[in-house]
Amino acid sequence: MLSRVADRIYWMSRQMERAENMARILGVTHNLVLFGTKGTRDPNLLAPLTITDSAERYFERKKPLSLDALIEFMVLDANNPSSIISCLKGARENAHAVRWQITSEMWETLNTTWLEAKAMRRAELAGGGATRFLDWVKDRSHLFRGVTYGTIVRGDAFNFSRLGTFIERADNTARILDVKYHIMLPSVSDVGGALDYYQWAALLRSVSSFETYRALYRDQIFPIKVAQLLILEPRMPRSLAACFDQITQAMERTHGQHDRAARRLAEEIHARLTHADIEEIFQGGLHEYLSSCLEDIAELGRRIQTAYLVSE
């Protein structure tokens, strides 16, 4: 496969996953702000900007931070590369460039999603409209992923689609957990209280893991068990361990002339996640561990770009 084609397919899937992740983060933020306390309002509003590294870009606009302004920036701002509208547009454009390599069902799903999203107006995001739109984005991402898995031939296009999806997902899971634990850590008096429980429950819901946590642990929500679930639990589809199961499998099926460095790093990360102990991670510092994971994921993305995706 030509590297420019692989690049388009990789980013097509990565951008759709990013749009879904953004919808998940904003949906939880919307609920936390509406039903939270005055003291938690600003940290909850800042969380999506911190997770996406877009706080500086937001405050350049000289607008005060509010729920409505945040949603407008993270959903409809075409100048924000992390916004949902930018991700959906990018996914559609990448798909259009390689229509002959993907199935008609994949193309129709992305094209319809973009056309409907482009028709969205700011007024339609007011009140309950925001929740409906964010749920729609998640549904469209689920549809695209299901259509892709169910229709595309198991070849290079499939493998690069899986790589884009799971690298983006791993990055997002690590960022969400790090922001909650390090930046939104409550005061000592709040630890273990109703506010702390609500925020951890919201984090689990943001990655569709609340029911999974209950099924596996049958216990109240403890930070160390949340971290265990989202980092090391291979049965949890959005955990780092599960993502790197998929990443290493996709790379085993993909062959490039200069991909040894990318393969080696992917296998090293996968091995560390397979054999890690959550108590040792906490003893060394969860924030430090997640920061290291994010650096490794970013480096893996660069190595994949160099090995497979540089245009010919």
pLDDT digits (tens, 9 = 90+) for 77-121: 999 999 999 999 999 999 999 999 999 999 999 999 999 999 988
pLDDT number for residue 196: 65
Q: Cβ atoms within 10 A of the Cβ of 247, count?
A: 24
Report residue 185's pLDDT band, with 50, 70 and 90 as the boundaries: low
What's the chain's length in residues?
312
The pLDDT value given to residue 195: 58
CA angle 73, 78, 80 (to 5 degrees): 55
pTM here?
A: 0.92
Distance between CA 169 and CA 18 in Å, rounded? Answer: 8
pLDDT in tens, 163-173: 999 999 999 99
Share in percent of the chain as helix, strand, coil (round to 5): 80, 0, 20
Which pLDDT band, with edges at 50, 70 and 90, does 126 fall under?
A: confident
What pLDDT was estimated at residue 135? Answer: 95
* Cβ atoms within 10 Å of 74's Cβ, excluding its own: 24
Q: How confident is the model at residue 312 (pLDDT cuts 50, 70, 90)?
A: very low
pLDDT in tens, 216-255: 998 888 889 999 999 999 999 999 999 999 999 999 999 8
Q: Which residues contact 32 (CB under 8 A, 6 or more apart)?
A: 40, 44, 198, 199, 202
Cβ contact 230:207 at 8 Å: yes
